[in-house]
Structure formats: structure tokens, C-alpha cells
Amino acid sequence: MRVRNISSLVWIALVCFLVIVMSVKGQMATAEDDPSNYVIQFEGKVARDDEVYLKDGRIYVSFKFLTHALGLNVNISLIQEEHVYHNYETQHNNKTVRVWGNDEHGYQLQTRPLVQKGRPYNTEMSEPTFISKPKSDNCRWAQSKCYSPFVNKGTLYVPLREIAMVFDLNVNIQHTDKLTVVDLQSMVK
């Protein structure tokens, strides 16, 4: 009888271990979490697996893929302030589209009218979430609670929903047995 109890405990421990190993940032890894199960297309151009990223049930797409598919030029620069920030900027439909930030403080997605400069004219489409202790100015970037742009393995990913609004794109999602097809179509002709 005692041997059965021990073996049951071993099985329970093994199952718990497998659940922990299979979890990814608090979520179970499933077939849907595999970017190869997603096809993102825009006017005949299809994103490769490494241009699609899935995070907490949200779809992210490579900024480079989308801007190239739209035929946009992107200016990339470094901004030296208190910290060094990466700045990706392009123009689309009479507005400046900007993704800027760094790995330490997160990235922001902003737009503003072409002829305007500076903060008062920026529209924050997606920005990092910060956590601070009460009555403290000491904040840290809450990466796990954040759905803003980010860099992974040298690729800048932007949230699909927000970047589609920025670039005036309709998003049609079709689910099949094995694939999720995301078809992006320009609302501006």
C-alpha cells in the first residue's frame, strides 16, 4: 500500500513538472502558439514564420515586413537622452509613424500629423506599462503586462491590431483546422 502512495506522488510530481516545463510565461504552449500556424498576408506578400510573433494570445508582426509590404521607407536612428533609444520613423497618409524605445524601458508606437513636431501632437497608439511602488518615482517596465512593440532577436515586432489602425488596414482573420490566415487590406485606395 505504501508503494502505491509513493508512486502516486511521483506521478503527481511528474505531471506538475511537465506543466511547469510546458508553460510559457504563465501560459500553456499549444499548437495555436506556433507562428507557423499563422499566415499574415498583404497584397500578395506573405510574412515568414520569423516575421510573426505570438504573445499572450496577441499577434505581432515584424515592422520591417509591414513597412516593406506597404512600400514605405523607414529611417532608423539612435536618440541619446538620459538613455539611448532606438527610433524607427516612416510616413504614411499624411502622418508620421514612429516606434521608439529600448529594451530597458520598452517601446512606444506613435503617430502625428506630418507638418507637426513634438509631444503635443503625438497620438500614443501603444506604449509600455510601468509598475512603481506607491509614493515612489522608481518605476520598472512591466514586460509581462505590456502589449506594446518589442524587439526579439533583432527584429522589431508591433501589435497587429494597433499597427493596422495606424496604416489604415482592414484585418480579416479566417480560422481553418490547421491555420489562422490574417489578410490585411488597405482602406485607402
Q: What pLDDT sits at residue 169?
A: 92
Q: What pLDDT sits at residue 103?
A: 79
If phi over 0 gives left and psi between -120 and 50 gives alpha, with beta otherwise, what is residue 25?
A: left
| CA 180/CA 173 separation, integer angstroms | 7
**Same-domain status, 10 and 97:** no
Write the DSSP string, 42-95.
Answer: ETTEE--GGGEEEETTEEEEEHHHHHHHTT---EEEEEESSSEEEEEEEEETTE
Q: What pLDDT sits at residue 26?
A: 35
Q: What pLDDT sits at residue 3?
A: 47
- Give me the domain span that covers residue 45: 34-186
Range from 91-100, 122-131, 176-185 carrying the lowest mean pLDDT = 122-131
Query: H helices within 89-183, ranges in order?
Result: 160-166
**Same-domain status, 102 and 70:** yes
**Same-domain status, 169 and 134:** yes
**Same-domain status, 20 and 61:** no
Q: What pLDDT sits at residue 140?
A: 54
Q: What pLDDT sits at residue 119?
A: 64
**Same-domain status, 63 and 97:** yes
**How many Cα atoms within 13 Å fall on the side-chain side of residue 142?**
11
Question: Could you give the strand order of the β-sheet that contains 58-62, starting from the edge strand earlier in sequence?
Answer: 52-55, 58-62, 155-159, 150-152
Confidence of residue 126 (pLDDT cuts 50, 70, 90): low
**Is 60 exceeded by the pLDDT of residue 112?**
yes
pTM score of the predicted model: 0.70
The number of domains in the chain is 2
Q: What pLDDT sits at residue 20?
A: 41
Q: What's the pLDDT tens digit per position in 18-44?
A: 444 333 333 333 444 677 888 899 988
**Same-domain status, 40 and 20:** no
Q: Give the alpha-carbon dihedral of 81, 82, 86, 89, to 10 degrees.
A: -40
**Same-domain status, 134 and 67:** yes
| CA 105/CA 125 separation, integer angstroms | 17
Q: What's the pLDDT tens digit per position in 52-89?
A: 988 888 898 999 999 999 999 999 988 887 778 888 99
- Cell numbers placing 88: 524607427
User: Chain-wide mean pLDDT for the chain?
Assistant: 75
**Same-domain status, 23 and 75:** no
Q: What pLDDT sits at residue 65?
A: 93
Q: What pLDDT sits at residue 34?
A: 79
Confidence of residue 105 (pLDDT cuts 50, 70, 90): confident
**Same-domain status, 39 and 120:** yes
**Same-domain status, 71 and 20:** no
**Same-domain status, 69 and 160:** yes
**Same-domain status, 43 and 15:** no
- Region 124-142: what's the mean pLDDT? 55
